[in-house]
Amino acid sequence: MTPETLINEATIEGNLKKFLLVLLVSLSVAILPQIWGWLRQIPYTLLLVIVGLGLAFIDVRLVSLSPELILLIFLPPLLFEAAWNLEWSKLKRDLVPIALYAVLGVVISVAGVAFALNQIAGVSLAIALLVGASISATDPVSVIALFRELGVEKRLALLVEGESLFNDGIAVVAFSFLVGFSLGTDEVGIPFLVARFLAFVGIGIAVGSAIGFGISYLTQRFDLPLVEQSLTLVSAYGTYIIVEELGGSGVIGVVVMGLIFGNFGSRIGMQPSTRLAVTQFWDFVAFFVNSIMFLLIGDRISFAGLGANLGVIGITVAAMFVTRAIAIFGLGWLSNRLAKSEISLADRTVIWWGGLRGSVSIALALSVPEVFPERDKIIGIVFGVVLFTLLVQGLTTKALLEKLGLLSNQELRQQYLEAIAQRVALNRVLKHLSEVSGDRRIEPEFSNHLVSQLQEKLNLLQAGINQMYDRSPELRQMTIDKLEGDLQAIEADTYAEFVRSGQLKELPVSVLRQCFQERNETIVS
């Protein structure tokens, strides 16, 4: 065996041990709140960041990954999972505010932060612009994980998720241009910038659409759940790599592909049981990747860099808050006027405060070329901002949601769903008892007594369900939403059967969706 082979094997073995160590720490953190109840007040993802900070403080570095590798490993599955679960009908309704936040919001953030750093902190314009671009995008990893954990109302979560999914591509375009501009390798001029932006986004949309529709029609030809799960995983990573190789936005490519596959491909090409299996698979992948990602964010923090740039970090955080307020409240007002989006002041407040930064900002900062002057300063500032948003904003977002009355009552929802599940179970048990009541091996006295007990329990359970339902408008709306979703799934599955059998070439327009839209418009008017 050659020395090179031995070195490679030792490297693989060492990386595997580090990976297992990261996984062990992540799972340990997930278990801790079950042992110490007070830890449940801290969202799991933020608890991972805190543990990572503790490891960084004692100088225990779990793993060292390049920024490019961080983006390649963690972003595709997280973006695909989020896009897969986004309903296009609801996303389409809020495309105007999401587009305004994702495009103009990034421009306002970059310009505002750069101006403050340059004029107040005395930082050079090149560094100020790169810092502004690095922290201009809300990170989908951070935002989506936190909001799902807190159980935020669906439309508010959609606005935040939609913004964070789409503005990453815009931020990467701005960052890459500013790096080239600062190093003198790129042309300067609005026409060049617009052309580059259109090419960057256009390639992502084109390739993502081609792969999304291609895989959708491919899965229509067979029903193999494990193969289809694997195809979604390969598609997520494959789309990102192909688009990046072609010079486009891998982020936008994966998001577009995930939206198409989740809203179109899963309907025409997957059986309901397969679609459920794929969804559960991606729930696991998202939990798994999030666990590692948030731990590594804390673990990569450099305390020396934070201390050396504390004043500049404070100015950057203040500028970030001001510019985001201008973007969210101003563009939200504009969207309300232009598209009648009806985004309330409370919703805009949460969107403003919930603009966490995370892995994307860190990866962009670390990707600044080594030859760039004061590269360490950029990294130190960005790390400080990310840490502030995750710990300060992340730990107070729940309190803000409760204060504004926007956080759903998770305990009541859970009690209601448990009661519904128990009612279904008892009804099935009673049905089975009635079917076997004629069996001579079962004593009638035992059977009748058990039926009487169960019926009494069922009556008490139904009374509790009715009481919860009557006192909570949220549960009434949740019941309606679930029924609408179930009915639309039945309709979509029926159309899919006709497409799979070759009787139809494409899915008909949803009749139920039109009915529900007309009903909602009638209620609003």
Give Cα 143 distance to the centre of its chain. Answer: 6
3-state SS assignment for residue 407: strand
Question: What whole-number distance in Å separates Cα of residue 191 and Cα of residue 187?
Answer: 10
- Nearest CA among 178, 34, 39, 45 for reference residue 106: 178
Question: What whole-number distance in Å separates Cα of residue 66 and Cα of residue 69?
Answer: 5
3-state SS assignment for residue 152: strand
C-beta separation of 298 from 48 below 8 A: yes
Show pLDDT as tens, one digit a residue, over the chain (525 residues): 566 665 666 666 666 777 777 778 777 877 877 777 677 667 777 787 888 888 777 766 666 666 667 778 878 888 888 888 888 877 888 899 999 998 899 999 999 999 999 999 999 888 899 999 999 988 756 566 667 666 677 788 888 888 888 887 788 778 877 887 777 655 556 677 777 778 888 999 999 999 999 988 888 887 788 888 899 999 999 999 999 899 888 888 998 999 999 888 887 778 777 888 888 898 888 888 877 777 777 777 778 778 888 999 999 999 999 999 999 999 999 999 988 888 999 999 999 998 888 777 887 887 888 788 788 889 889 989 988 998 898 888 888 888 887 766 666 777 888 888 888 888 888 888 887 776 667 777 777 888 888 888 888 888 888 888 887 777 777 778 778 777 877 887 787 778 777 777 777 777 887 787 667 656 545
Per-residue model confidence (pLDDT) at position 446 = 75
Per-residue model confidence (pLDDT) at position 148 = 66
Tell me how far CA of residue 295 lies from CA of 19, 282, 358, in angstroms: 12, 20, 11
Q: Which residues pair with 407 in a beta bridge?
A: 152
Q: What is the pTM of this model?
A: 0.77
- Nearest CA among 79, 48, 37, 47 for reference residue 168: 79
Give the H or E element holding residue 335. Answer: helix 331-339
CA dihedral of residues 200, 185, 128, 387 (deg, nearest 10): 60
C-beta separation of 430 from 454 below 8 A: yes
Question: What whole-number distance in Å separates Cα of residue 72 and Cα of residue 205?
Answer: 18
Question: What whole-number distance in Å separates Cα of residue 358 and Cα of residue 140?
Answer: 8
